[in-house]
Amino acid sequence: MGPSKYARSDVGRVFSDRRTVLVVDDSAFMRRLISQILEASTEFHVVGTAKNGLDALERIHELNPEIVTLDIDMPELDGLNALGYIMSETPRAVVMLAAATTESARELALRALELGAVDFVRKPSGPISLDLEVITDRVLAALRAAAAANLAGLRMLPPAVARVESPSRTPPKAATVAVAIACSTGGPRALAAILPELPRSLEATILIVQHMPPGFTKSFAQRLASVSRIHVREAEDGEPLYHGRAYVAPGGHHVRVVGPPESPVIGFDDGPPMWGVRPAADPLFRSVAERFGPSAIGVVLTGMGRDGSAGLKAIRDAGGRAIVQDRETATIFGMPQSAAQLAGADRVAPLGAVASVITELVGAVGPGARR
């Protein structure tokens, strides 16, 4: 073996600028491949690996890594249960790297986000993905989000309680008020805290853009529906918008509000990604501003980047209202901060108050306020 690139005295300095990572996967090949991807960057240093959840908990106490990459399907103690222990005993930023190729696996990935994982990255070809390098940029982006995460905003939420209610016999009303919500990293947890608190009688339609790949948004909408009073579903092209219902933009499609003012509907837009994502919030927000004007409410929640900022300004310029999540409860304050700087806000609210603020503002601009 040739001489080291760095003198021994330089090693600590070289790695001191990198965020420390523990890689957890039951496959030795995947542990090695993930480690190689991270070490090849100038941002992360792998301080150790673990072969299952029990091993991970020991290594976390021993090595105290800043970030953990965690597989879901592992023997002895799986990733989901290991995550629960991590977030309750030694909270830190966790990124799930999982196959998530089946419906049940996608459900587990979504549950991991609710438990406090910062992000998940889908392995491209199953549990042992020989081609993981093809998503190197996605892996590094997730780790960067983890490095920027607010640990105070990652507190583990209690499981939401499923709601069983008899169907309403009142015919739905075509939307005259719209609440457009934008979120990215940390968004699934935020939405799981907000939507169950909205009243069934809310006189507004809810339109949600959560940055999420195809294949996950339908399961995500179903999870939200199971714990919410309002109806929640993945949006469909041409679907009418009604009060008391929430529509989640499907992965892979931008969503806009189209149709005549008296009967607005959802329209899909398969144009290029914006801000690197599709769906993006800005196209939706702009269409909501155009269609609903003073009866529009924009909400920008946790996430990296600036998606939603220009759209929120369009809503305010049209006479609508704006809500942004506060720094203390946002997993990543990037999107709310950018939105507040560009558009301003009528209310800056902690996560626990967002639902009540939405309800309050809907009451201020909705049909009841005009009677």
CATH number for position 315: 3.40.50.180
pLDDT of residue 358: 98
| 332 shares its domain with 364 | yes
> What pairing do the DSSP bridges indicate for beta strands 205-210 and 67-70?
unpaired
| 138 shares its domain with 69 | yes
| 334 shares its domain with 244 | yes
Q: How far apart are the C-alpha atoms of 237 and 125, rounded to whole Å? A: 30
| 264 shares its domain with 297 | yes
Residue 13, pLDDT above cutoff 50: no
| 268 shares its domain with 363 | yes
pLDDT of residue 135: 83
Strand partners, 122: 98
| 150 shares its domain with 183 | no
Residue 142, pLDDT above cutoff 90: yes
Decide: 320 and 346 in contact? Cβ < 8 Å.
no
- Residue 30 is assigned to a structural domain of this protein: yes
pLDDT of residue 92: 96
Active site residues: 184, 211, 307
Round the average pLDDT of the chain to a whole number and report it. Answer: 90
pLDDT of residue 349: 98
DSSP codes of every residue in 52-71: SHHHHHHHHHHH--SEEEE-
Pick the closest to residue 176 from 367, 370, 371, 368 (CA basis): 367
Which range (99-108, 284-293, 362-371) has the least confidence?
A: 362-371
State the DSSP H helix or E strand holding residue 291, giving kind and residue range, or none if neither.
helix 281-292
pLDDT band at 8 (very low <50, low <70, confident <90, very high): very low
Q: What share of the chain in percent tops pLDDT 70?
A: 88
- Residue 200 is assigned to a structural domain of this protein: yes
| 354 shares its domain with 228 | yes
| 110 shares its domain with 238 | no
User: Could you tell me which residue, 16 or 352, shows the higher pLDDT?
Assistant: 352
pLDDT of residue 132: 77
- Residue 45 is assigned to a structural domain of this protein: yes
| 134 shares its domain with 186 | no
- Residue 8 is assigned to a structural domain of this protein: no
pLDDT, tens digit (0-9, with 9 covering 90-100), for 21-46 = 999 999 999 999 999 999 999 999 99
Pick the closest to residue 56 from 33, 105, 89, 12 (CA basis): 89
- Residue 168 is assigned to a structural domain of this protein: no
Residue 7, pLDDT above cutoff 50: no
Q: Which of 98, 122, 154 is the last residue of a domain?
A: 154
- Residue 161 is assigned to a structural domain of this protein: no
- Residue 167 is assigned to a structural domain of this protein: no
pLDDT, tens digit (0-9, with 9 covering 90-100), for 45-85 = 999 999 999 999 999 999 999 999 999 989 999 999 999 99
Which range (95-104, 121-130, 186-195) has the least confidence?
A: 121-130
| 297 shares its domain with 248 | yes
Maximum Cα interatomic distance, the chain, rounded to a whole number of Å? 82
| 129 shares its domain with 268 | no
Give the total number of structural domains in the chain: 2
| 139 shares its domain with 184 | no
pTM: 0.89
- Residue 162 is assigned to a structural domain of this protein: no
pLDDT, tens digit (0-9, with 9 covering 90-100), for 160-186 = 555 655 556 677 899 999 999 999 999
Q: Which domain holds residue 185?
A: 178-370
pLDDT of residue 21: 98
Indicate which CATH number applies to the domain containing 83.
3.40.50.2300
Tell me the mean pLDDT in the region 190-205: 96
pLDDT of residue 1: 38
pLDDT of residue 186: 94
pLDDT of residue 169: 64
